[in-house]
Amino acid sequence: MSATNRQLKRGDLWILGGLLIGALLGGCASSSSSGVQVVDRNKSGASSRQPVTSGQYTVQRGDTLFSIAFRYGWDWKALAARNGIPPPYVIRPGQKIRFGNGASQPAAPTAVASASTPVVTTMPTPSAPVLIVPQPVTGTPTTAPRPVTPTVATTPTQSVDRSPSGWAWPANGVLIGKFSSNGSLNKGIDIAGELGQPVLAASDGSVVYAGSGLRGYGELVIIKHSDTYVSAYGHNRRLLVREGEQVKAGQTVAEMGSTGTDRVKLHFEIRRQGKPVDPLQYLPRR
């Protein structure tokens, strides 16, 4: 083999090596430089960052105004106003909730809901969830719905450090996913932990949703802290609180699990007037 050929062969090897290194660096660049995993929750059905502003949703049994608002990125007060839903914000199975212009439609006379199921729209709601009442049978008087009487949750409460704004970490563990302001990425943070470990309320508030009806979140708890803020706790193994219960910061609301995801972790969100915000801006520094 001539010297020229040997030189070309070596050059080819250098080029091939450069391409391989470039590919590896490109792969690394696509992940977080801090080693934190960013998850595309849209693939699992999580709501988008911007509220849905067209179309409509048909209320199903078990829906609440909070859960619908949370799913579609709305503030509960704005969604109620858009649909002309007055206090006490009652919605019924079969009712159409519109995200564009136009008024909501009443439920069909045949739609009946469980009297124990609270209802509200996506995000914050009134101070207490409201019962979904059955549609009246023709010829019978209509009874005004009564709000659920708030009760205090009896689960254990831990002493927790709180930030100046009053928030505490919802679980112990390693931070494995950070918030992203990009419309298609993580709407909160992910905390790895042990199966069954306590998931804690991040601030005082009332439970406005507890269930598995929001695809991509598994067993989910939503807590309303004020007319402005709500927090969400997803992928739990078991829920320990019910809708309408009052909780304190550090109080156990669930057991950590892997429902709706591929590993044991807590997905935690804070939403301000229906829009996701970075929880790390509210939680105490670690």
The full set of domain ranges for the chain reads 152-281
Q: What percentage of the chain has pLDDT greater than the value 70?
A: 65
State the pLDDT at residue 63: 87
Query: What is the β-pairing status of strands 245-247 and 151-152?
Result: parallel
Q: What is the DSSP letter of 95?
A: P
Query: Would you call 17 helix, strand, or coil by DSSP?
Result: helix
Alpha-carbon span 5 to 77, nearest angstrom: 75
**Cα 170 to chain centroid, rounded:** 14
Alpha-carbon span 217 to 277, nearest angstrom: 17
With cut-offs at 50, 70 and 90, classify the pLDDT of residue 149: low
Query: Would you call 169 helix, strand, or coil by DSSP?
Result: coil
Q: Count other C-beta atoms under 10 Å from residue 172's C-beta.
A: 14
- Least confident among 4-8, 72-76, 89-93, 184-188: 4-8
Render pLDDT for 150-206 as a digit per residue (tens, 0 to 9).
799 999 999 999 999 999 999 999 999 999 877 666 899 999 999 999 999 999 999
pTM score, two decimals? 0.66
Alpha-carbon span 119 to 164, nearest angstrom: 32
CATH of domain 152-281: 2.70.70.10
Query: Would you call 256 helix, strand, or coil by DSSP?
Result: strand
> Is the model's pLDDT at 121 over the cut of 90?
no
